[in-house]
């Protein structure tokens, strides 16, 4: 037991830096800000919910367009330099978005540019660095790394809502710009990759870094496509539930301040989901652990589709969504490493990232469109239950992972 956790004693600074970077990065603070910004942007510029939700598509388009390239660069040159550079660009892009006018196309273009600027602040980069240092408790290490986005899920709704209420929507983007800039400090001093640190004699690179599937080998595997398709469905549904939770609650006559607090509860559940999933996948059959957590939003959908939404129902729904949201982002890098190895980890994770964020980008605007047509989210919630069930079944039947190390 002591030997298993010795990795944490030796490499905890890398975990801290990676967690901060993930939280301040484009898939952390920016993603959690969309639900908070939806109503203020709609009220300011007169855009519909479907139009504002469309920002998710353009945010995702930036991820999809750059993920394979980021994976290639990460595998070939390492992740430290690209993470530092991307954090700086992301901060500048956040400031730039405050200068947009009421043209929806300018908004979409700004979001896309922001996504491209922050493309090397995604979990692909941070988990690539952490995975090289951890073997015995890699699942828990990746879970702890990605708690950074869960912490963002708690803090962003509270602080951004307060800033927007006191000033306007621009204050929210300026605050996120400052956070991205400050994240450069721990990343510069603490974030290194095994085999690429300043003194390479300090640590002998693990043989596991050179074992696993190549990209062509993975593409010929049915398991890879089963894996990618499952997370495309699951990512799309969970992302939609997160983006539309606050508007759904305010539509049910819940005060906005209370709805924002509920979003914070969801952020706390994200952290719990990440740490718990990371711990359990090191102990039990990973697909079964994944299926358990990823099926939870189906309960949330059922709870939220009721005609009345008492507080306990809303909290339960938010917890179920948050637990799954925490698990999914943890499971994608973990299962990629377990089923396909570290040899081409960055490239393969980049391609899984494409599928995952294709779902994340496409489905939230559909939810918004369903609301615009029907005046409620009932049909969207029913569709989410079916799609989640298909995705969970695909994950549960992946089989036993191969042994690479």
CATH number of residue 11's parent domain: 1.20.1250.20
Residues with Cβ within 8 Å of 26's Cβ and at least 6 positions away in sequence, in order, are 59, 62, 63, 90, 114, 115, 117, 118, 119, 121, 122
Is residue 200 included in any domain, yes or no? no
Which domain covers residue 179, as residue numbers? 6-190+209-396
| Residue 157 · residue 36 · CB < 8 Å | yes
pLDDT value at residue 201? 43
Exposure b/e, 323-339, CB count within 10 A at least 16 = b: bbbbbbbbbbbbbbbbb
Q: How far is CA 210 from the centre of its chain?
A: 27
Residue 238 and residue 328: Cα distance in Å, rounded? 9
Which has the closest alpha carbon to 185: 24, 71, 33? 24
pLDDT value at residue 204? 53
Over residues 194-229, the pLDDT tens digits come to 766 544 444 455 555 567 788 899 999 999 999 999
Is residue 402 included in any domain, yes or no? no
Which has the closest alpha carbon to 149: 7, 275, 59? 275
| Residue 252 · residue 259 · CB < 8 Å | no
On average, the pLDDT of the chain sits at 84
Can you name the residues that pair with 101 across neighbouring β-strands?
none
Q: Give this prediction's pTM.
A: 0.72
Cβ of 162: how many Cβ atoms within 10 Å? 15
pLDDT value at residue 202? 45
| Residue 333 · residue 209 · CB < 8 Å | no
What is the tally of structural domains in the chain? Answer: 1
What percent of the chain is predicted at pLDDT more than 70? 94
Q: Say which residue the tokens 């700004």 belong to.
A: 110
Is residue 195 included in any domain, yes or no? no
Is residue 405 included in any domain, yes or no? no
| Residue 338 · residue 401 · CB < 8 Å | yes
Is residue 300 included in any domain, yes or no? yes
| Residue 180 · residue 24 · CB < 8 Å | yes
Residue 397 and residue 185: Cα distance in Å, rounded? 42
Is residue 370 included in any domain, yes or no? yes
pLDDT value at residue 207? 53
Q: Write out residues in the chain with pLDDT < 70, as ranges.
A: 1-5, 195-210, 306-307, 404-405
Is residue 119 included in any domain, yes or no? yes
Is residue 382 included in any domain, yes or no? yes
Residues with Cβ within 8 Å of 316's Cβ and at least 6 positions away in sequence, in order, are 299, 300, 303
């Amino acid at each position: 037991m002591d030997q298993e956790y010795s990795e944490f004693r030796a490499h905890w600074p890398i975990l801290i830096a990676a967690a901060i970077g993930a939280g301040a990065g484009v898939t952390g603070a920016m993603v959690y800000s969309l639900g908070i910004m939806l109503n203020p942007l709609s009220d300011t510029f007169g855009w519909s919910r479907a139009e504002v939700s469309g920002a998710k598509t353009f945010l995702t388009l930036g991820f999809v367009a750059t993920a394979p390239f980021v994976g290639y660069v990460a595998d070939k040159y390492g992740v430290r330099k690209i993470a530092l550079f991307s954090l700086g660009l992301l901060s500048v892009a956040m400031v730039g978005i405050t200068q947009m006018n009421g043209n929806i196309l300018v908004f979409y273009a700004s979001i896309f540019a922001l996504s491209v600027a922050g493309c090397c602040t995604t979990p692909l980069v941070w988990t690539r660095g952490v995975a090289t240092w951890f073997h015995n408790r890699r699942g828990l290490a990746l879970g702890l790394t990605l708690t950074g986005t869960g912490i963002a899920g708690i803090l962003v709704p509270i602080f951004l809502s307060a800033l927007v209420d006191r000033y306007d929507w621009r204050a929210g983007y300026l605050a996120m710009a400052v956070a991205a800039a400050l994240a450069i400090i721990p990343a510069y001093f603490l974030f290194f990759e095994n085999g690429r640190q300043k003194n390479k004699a300090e640590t002998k690179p693990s043989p596991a870094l050179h074992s696993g599937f190549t990209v062509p080998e993975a593409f010929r595997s049915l398991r890879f496509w089963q894996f990618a398709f499952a997370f495309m469905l699951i990512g799309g549904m969970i992302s939609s539930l997160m983006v539309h939770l606050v508007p759904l609650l305010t539509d049910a006559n819940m005060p906005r301040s209370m709805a924002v607090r509920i979003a914070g509860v969801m952020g706390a559940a994200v952290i719990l989901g990440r740490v718990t999933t990371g711990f359990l996948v090191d102990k039990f059959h990973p697909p079964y652990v994944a299926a358990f957590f990823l099926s939870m939003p189906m309960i949330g959908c059922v709870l939220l589709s009721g005609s009345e939404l008492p507080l306990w129902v809303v909290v339960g729904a938010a917890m179920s969504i948050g637990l799954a949201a925490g698990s999914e982002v943890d499971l994608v890098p973990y299962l990629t490493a377990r089923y396909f190895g570290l040899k081409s980890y960055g490239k393969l994770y980049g391609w899984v990232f494409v599928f995952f964020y294709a779902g994340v980008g496409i489905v939230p605007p559909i939810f918004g469109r369903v609301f615009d047509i029907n005046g409620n989210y009932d049909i969207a919630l029913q569709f989410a239950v079916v799609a989640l069930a298909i995705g969970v079944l695909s994950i549960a039947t992946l089989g036993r992972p191969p042994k690479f190390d």
